[in-house]
Structure 1
Amino acid sequence: MSITIGVDIGGSHISSAAINGNDFVIIPETYFSGPVDSKASKEVIIKKWAEIINQTIQAVQKISGYTEKDKIGIAFSMPGPFQYESGIAMFEGNDKYESLYNVSVSEELVKYLDAKNVSFRFLNDASCFGVGGSLKENSSVENKVIAITLGTGFGAAFLDNKLPLTQGDNVPHNGCLWDKPFQDGIADSYFSTRWFLKEYEKSTGNKLTDGVKEIAAIESFSTAKIFDDFANNLTEFLAPFIIDFDADLLVIGGNIAKSHRLFLPKVKENLKAKNIDLAISIVENTEHTSILGSSYLYNEVFWERIKAELPYF
């Protein structure tokens, strides 16, 4: 028997769950999550990751008839910069997990896991979210998917038949959007939580700390205009990429997506005005979707297609 565990690494958390590969769902009572201090030492971070993953391993052992001979595949939805083929972290200058710079996550993590017959596979977190979103839609018609995550940062993935693409004439460099030019800066500065906080302070003179959820709860002309401006900016930025990629589906996740009622109607209206017709899917639980997407790395057909082109960033 082989077991697949999907892991989502965030800037301040880790989540882990075992996946039923037959119907592509999280196995009940195997999901665990916990906070992580991304500025802690290498040992503290790795031990915390192991602690959460071990809870999933122990749950699987209880419910599945697991034996020590059984193989466990652990698939990571991992932010960059990261060497996804070798499993070596390259976090530097991005204010998170910098103590893991040039560290082999596989070699360090296995020291603290309750199971030793394990293997590891890694993929960019935005790509995992995109793969998970594509699989949840489960539509043969929607072959070309752009997936974006709107939160503390702006993640993106371009997928053709569930395969993340990082190069090609109709795909932006590295399959990323966060670093692409937009207005007076780069996209990440406009499609993240800090943009909302900055715009709210600029509009009202007041500082907020809880993010977009707090702004969404305030019904005023100022907040309505902020969400309208966000929708206009998002449409203006995404439209050329949607057209170039000839996308069939746009999947949106991240914490900002939870306030979609305040910006999605305007996005749809703007796209229609540009004669762009594509389906849009909002994913409320980005973590679960990323975990599911990461687990697909242990679909051997998918792995054979993707492993030679794992991104190095």
Structure 2
Amino acid sequence: MIPVLEIGGTHVTAALVDLPGRRVVHRTRSPLDPHGAAGDILEGIRRCAAGLPAPPGARWGVAVPGPFDYVKGIALFAGVGKFEALYGVDVRAALLGGVWRRPGDVVFLNDAHAFLAGEWCGGAARGHRRAVGITLGTGVGSAFLADGLIREDGSGVPPGGRMDLTEVGGRPLEDSVSRRAILVRYGDPAADVRDIADRARAGEERARRVLADALTVLGAALGPRLAAFGATALIVGGSMARSWDLVSPALRGGLASGGWVPDDGELGDGELGDGPDGTQPRGAPAGAARHTRAVVPAGSADDAALIGAARAAATG
């Protein structure tokens, strides 16, 4: 069993992962205050990790959002609205010296990278040679994967693989697509994104339009990159993906306007893979239409990043 941590914007999860079985066998979760003092944030992470029955000396995988120095384990959060008290802090040293069952080593990776790697191992990206993952929560996380490996450069890939560094209309993408941007545009200080989604389902036009506009912008920005990358799947995770009934139509429309037209059928885990490029539906007759552009929600939303972090720990 491989011990892992997933550090999110408002929580931390510690888990033991059975990597061959692609399953999480033990999990603990604790809240984090993203605006708290550095000592309080680190103590919350250590306390959650210490509650995991991991063997002493194990190598841990840790999925954490950027900006972060993943090789050295140094937090570089600045201008992202969370964990800014940790700027310059050696998180690796804090974990190696502060967990009850001390790790033998800690491997850090980007949380969106961990998410897509986990989905490729056994979730919605399984069977796709080239896939892109997007996480929609506090901001926009992204990952580009080819033949099981994360790519941070190449055709269609933004600098460092980070869509949040791209611009739309001369402004950062997250000025249009993020929790902050959606709340500002909606204009009700008492509402959160979940409330806006509920109001959109109830028929409120303003709520529906705010969400649709943000997701259409995201799709239009992604479309040309997916086409250039040769992606056959876009996997969407994060808290906003739980409102898939609202996310999917606007996102798919934006993707089409950006030149990456999704298939009408949304294919999920296990439905691809007979063809030499991994895109022919299993059991399809010769000459059947090929499903080459699937847009799907995460197949294992709560487990994908944990499985991806375990994969990183196992490979070093």
After TM superposition, the score normalised by the length of structure 1 is 0.82
SS for the counterpart of 2:231 is: coil
Kindly indicate whether residue 245 of structure 2 is the aligned counterpart of residue 249 of structure 1: no
Aligned counterpart, 2:172: 186
Q: How does 1:129-148 map to 2 (within 5 A)?
A: 129-137=115-123, 141-148=127-134
CA-CA distance at 1:286 after TM superposition: 4.1
Kindly indicate whether residue 101 of structure 2 is the aligned counterpart of residue 115 of structure 1: yes
Distance 1:54 1:247, change over 3 A: same
User: Does the Cα contact within 8 Å between 1:47 and 1:109 map onto a contact in 2?
Assistant: no
Amino acid at match of 2:145: L
Amino acid at match of 2:297: I
Aligned counterpart, 1:164: 150
SS for the counterpart of 1:197 is: helix
Kindly indicate whether residue 213 of structure 2 is the aligned counterpart of residue 229 of structure 1: yes
Aligned counterpart, 1:15: 13
Amino acid at match of 1:172: P
CA-CA distance at 1:122 after TM superposition: 0.3
Find 1:103's aligned residue among 82, 89, 98: 89
Find 2:313's aligned residue among 298, 301, 304: 298
User: Does the Cα contact within 8 Å between 2:23 and 2:303 map onto a contact in 1?
Assistant: no
Kindly indicate whether residue 256 of structure 2 is the aligned counterpart of residue 268 of structure 1: no
Of the structure 1 ranges 85-94 and 249-258, higher mean CA displacement relative to structure 2 is found in 85-94
Return 5+ residue gaps in structure 1 as ranges. 61-65, 202-206, 304-313
Aligned counterpart, 1:282: 297
- Output the CA distance in 2 between the equivalents of 1:139 and 1:188: 25
Find 2:194's aligned residue among 195, 202, 213: 213
Distance 1:212 1:95, change over 3 A: closer
SS for the counterpart of 1:85 is: coil
- Output the CA distance in 2 between the equivalents of 1:270 and 1:108: 43
SS for the counterpart of 1:96 is: coil
SS for the counterpart of 1:26 is: strand
Distance 1:222 1:293, change over 3 A: same
CA-CA distance at 1:93 after TM superposition: 4.2
RMSD: 2.3
Amino acid at match of 1:170: G
CA-CA distance at 1:271 after TM superposition: 4.2
- Output the CA distance in 2 between the equivalents of 1:139 and 1:101: 33
More helix per residue:
1
- Output the CA distance in 2 between the equivalents of 1:15 and 1:192: 22
Residues 32-75 of structure 1: per-residue CA shift (max 9 Å, x gap): 11112234343322222111011112xx5xxxxx5x5xx41211
Q: How does 1:28-43 map to 2 (within 5 A)?
A: 30-43=26-39
Aligned counterpart, 1:46: 42
Amino acid at match of 2:181: W
Distance 1:98 1:226, change over 3 A: closer
SS for the counterpart of 1:252 is: strand
After TM superposition, the score normalised by the length of structure 2 is 0.81
Aligned length: 282
Amino acid at match of 1:261: D
Amino acid at match of 2:44: K
Distance 1:140 1:156, change over 3 A: closer
Distance 1:117 1:6, change over 3 A: closer
SS for the counterpart of 1:217 is: helix
User: Does the Cα contact within 8 Å between 1:15 and 1:287 map onto a contact in 2?
Assistant: no
Residues 227-270 of structure 1: per-residue CA shift (max 9 Å, x gap): 33234322211111111111011010112111120231343355
- Output the CA distance in 2 between the equivalents of 1:99 and 1:231: 31
CA-CA distance at 1:85 after TM superposition: 0.9
Distance 1:280 1:114, change over 3 A: same
Residues 64-103 of structure 1: per-residue CA shift (max 9 Å, x gap): xx5x5xx412111111221111112223444433333333
Distance 1:282 1:111, change over 3 A: same
Of the structure 1 ranges 164-173 and 260-269, higher mean CA displacement relative to structure 2 is found in 260-269
Distance 1:118 1:226, change over 3 A: same
- Output the CA distance in 2 between the equivalents of 1:173 and 1:281: 24
